[in-house]
Amino acid sequence: MIPQMHVEDPLHVMRGEFLPEAVYAQAIASFIIVCTDAIILTPGHRTLALVRRQALPMRGLWCIGGRRFAGERAEASMRRCFRRETGLDLPEDRFTFLHIVEYRWKNRQQEPQGAGSHDLSYQFTVSLDPDERAHAVAHLDPNEYDRSFGIRDFTRAQLIVAGAHYGVLDWYDAVFPGHDHRP
């Protein structure tokens, strides 16, 4: 279940915004960055549909998402980030909350890259039909994702063979509990 948010004044609007790179680099060094990420599922299959990220902090097989703004509900952030990254404007109820995960990365995209980052990720799942998936592939941000890789399905065994980050295996285990862990 998604954590409960208590709002003192529903009429008060917080305006989250993108920060200049230098300011954002300072923020990353000082604060835990909150993100929302979508793990794509293929209906009827026990697979995770993943992209190949080209940007730090995580290069390789990963999911789609981004930073959550101050004052933004997790579901609204997930919708906004998914729309920005894939061009698909899905309603919030298409995203199912899975869990929250923390990551401490040794590198980051912003200089100095070796300073790393500490992220808190609200992770959701979303199922896409073939047309939505094709649209998403065509609209992946080429600065962040390898468009030629597209969005590919992986069983747990294929994730192991592909050398996926252990966090991705944790996602698989959370989405498909009780499966056989042997490759």
Domain ranges of the chain: 31-175
Is pLDDT above 80 for 16? no
Is pLDDT above 80 for 113? no
Both tokens assigned to 18: 């993108």
Reported as a single tens digit per residue, the pLDDT across 82-109 is 999 999 999 999 999 999 999 998 777 7
Is pLDDT above 60 for 183? no
Q: What is the mean pLDDT of residues 54-61?
A: 86
Choices 3.90.79.10, 3.30.460.10, 3.40.50.2300, 3.90.850.10: CATH for 31-175: 3.90.79.10
Phi-psi category of 119—alpha, beta or left, where left has phi over 0 and alpha has psi -120 to 50? beta
User: For residue 180, what pLDDT is reported?
Assistant: 59
Please tell me whether the overall predicted TM-score, pTM, comes out greater than 0.85 for this model.
Answer: yes
Neighbours of 90 (CB within 10 A): 17
User: For residue 181, what pLDDT is reported?
Assistant: 58
Q: Please check whether residue 151 is in contact with residue 133, taking contact to mean a CB–CB distance below 8 angstroms.
A: yes
Neighbouring residues of 27: CB distance < 8 A, sequence distance ≥ 6 = 19, 33
Q: Please check whether residue 56 is in contact with residue 140, taking contact to mean a CB–CB distance below 8 angstroms.
A: no
The percentage of the chain sitting over the pLDDT mark of 70, rounded to a whole number, equals 97
Peptide bond into 112 cis (omega under 30): yes
C-alpha–C-alpha distance, residues 69 and 3, integer Å: 16
Question: How big, in percent rounded to 5, are the helix, strand and coil portions of the chain?
Answer: 30, 25, 45
**pLDDT band (50, 70, 90) for residue 116:** confident
C-alpha–C-alpha distance, residues 90 and 132, integer Å: 10
User: For residue 14, what pLDDT is reported?
Assistant: 85
- 3-state secondary structure (DSSP) of residue 16: coil
4-18, 49-63, 147-161: segment of lowest average pLDDT: 4-18
Rg for the chain (alpha carbons), in Å? 16
**pLDDT band (50, 70, 90) for residue 30:** confident
